[in-house]
Amino acid sequence: MPSDVTHSPKTSEASRRALALIVDGTVSSRADLRTQLGISASTASSLVRRLLDTGVIEEVVDGPSTGGRRPARLQVIQNDAAWLVAELGGGHLRLGVSTAQSTLLRVRECRLDIADGPAATFTALRENWEQLLEDLPELQILSAAIALPGPVSAQTNELIAPARMPGWHGVRIVDELQEALNIPVHVENDARAAALGEFIARQESIPDLIYVKAGTGIGAGLISRGQLIHGGSGVAGDITHVPVPGAEGRQCSCGRTGCLETVASGAAIRRELVDQELEVSSIRDVIDLAVTFQPAATTAVRRSGKQLGTALSSLVNFLNPSAVIIGGALSGVDAYVAAVRSAIYDSSLAMTTQHLLIETTTAGSDAALIGLTRIARRSAPLPVPHDSATRSASAPPSTIHRPAGGTPT
Ligand SMILES: [Zn+2]
């Protein structure tokens, strides 16, 4: 049957959007495409047929047979494509490689002091990725996505006055990274990337969730109706500088006083234990004491968890999420999680907590990397259709450089 879709700019744009959604993993079936684009079954079918004709995607049947037709999966024919992802913490770097076949093919973590500044960090990123890629010469690296432990504007893709990243203020991070790596780079706040990763790791089954990263600092991200929320100026989720009772007069890294971070973060708990002359030099030490029920550590962890839970209850009342997911290093301390949970129940309306799920992360330490994989795929050049009639005028060239940077064309 001949296609009734003409190759107008409008349908080319629809094809490009459909392809972008298949590339980043948001869409894996015709039904997904209908939902995401709000189009009819016949329009979705026409779009898929056009993309199949161009040779950039394929439709494979590999689902379980339920007696009827097996579900068909849409995927990009790009077997050698790969994306680089990395999460920068205050004292560590976690990075991985994502491919068309595997969300995370290789993951490694190493120590890195972010206060050493951008140049040392970029070098560490490049060297670690080069090592990960050493025995994967066949891969074509399309783009990279990096999560940062500071406020990243989704509008400008830049850091904004990062209190916990001394030496980084005013750094044109995306430009410099693209220059260092020779591929398109996208940056995102670490907690927001992890919120997206948690949503994906739970098979996108909880479309309204709050994710809290409770580690040395505290960050959060909101998924609403299946979308990561960035807010009016692109910095949504920064719960750490909410003023809370009990923190009055405490100096915060943001320059103000009384923020949640000064009482509920791993750094705050560590300071409290140091004041009690306990030997704690890192959040790891705090966790080791707390999980062995050292009395002062247990008390501090419970109080901090309660303050986080109380702050979260305002969000629970206002947003009515289906789940609050707790990630970050402190999610491994049962007493902290229990205190967060009980404070949310104590301070929220019963109608908002009746069906509320409060759990620790399922994505674990890879939450941000999983979210970044989707973000990297979004920022990569789309594969160029073989049929030139469907090629969007704005489609970027698929020129790819490996981050070794030796052979830019
Ligand atoms: Zn603050």
Answer yes or no: CATH 3.30.420.40 is held by domain 204-361: yes
Q: What is the pLDDT of residues 253-286, one digit of tens each?
A: 888 999 999 999 999 999 999 999 999 998 999 9
> Looking at residues 82-109, what average pLDDT do you find?
89
Topology match between the domains 81-193+367-379 and 204-361: yes
How high is the pLDDT of residue 11?
A: 65
pLDDT digits (tens, 9 = 90+) for 101-128: 778 988 999 999 888 988 899 999 999 9
Domain boundaries, the chain: 9-63+73-77, 81-193+367-379, 204-361
Query: 173-181 and 118-133 helices cross at what angle (nearest 10)?
Result: 40
Average pLDDT, stretch 132-136? 88
Residues 156-166: tens digit of each pLDDT? 777 777 777 87
Task: Name the band, by pLDDT with cuts 50, 70 and 90, for residue 8.
Answer: low
CA distance 84 to 82: 7
Phi and psi of 397, rounded to 5°? Answer: -70, 150
pLDDT in tens, 47-65: 998 888 877 888 887 655 5
For residue 169, report the distance from its CA to the centre of ligand 1, in Å.
Answer: 16
CATH domain 81-193+367-379 topology: Nucleotidyltransferase; domain 5 (3.30.420)
Instruction: Give the Å distance between the CA of 239 and the centre of ligand 1.
Output: 9
Cα 247 to middle of ligand 1, angstroms: 10
Confirm whether pTM is higher than 0.85.
no
For residue 240, the CA-to-ligand 1 centroid distance in Å is 6
- Look over the chain and give the mean of its residue pLDDT values, rounded to a whole number: 86
Give percent of the chain above pLDDT 70. Answer: 89
Residue type, 339: A
Measure the CA–CA gap between 396 and 147, rounded to whole angstroms.
24
Question: What CA–CA distance (Å, rounded) separates 338 from 308?
Answer: 11
9-63+73-77 has which fold? Answer: Arc Repressor Mutant, subunit A (1.10.10)
Residue 223 has pLDDT above 70, yes or no: yes
Range list of H helices, 254-366: 261-264, 266-275, 283-291, 295-319, 334-347, 350-353
Is the distance from CB of 212 to CB of 228 less than 8 angstroms?
no
Say how many Å lie between the CA of residue 311 and the centre of ligand 1.
14
Ligand 1 mean position to 158 CA, how many Å? Answer: 20
Q: Which tens digit of pLDDT belongs to each residue from 169-211?
A: 778 888 888 988 889 999 999 999 999 999 999 999 999 999 9
Ion ligand 1: residues, CB within 5 A, are: 241, 252, 254, 259
Contact in structure between 208 and 224 (CB atoms under 8 Å): yes
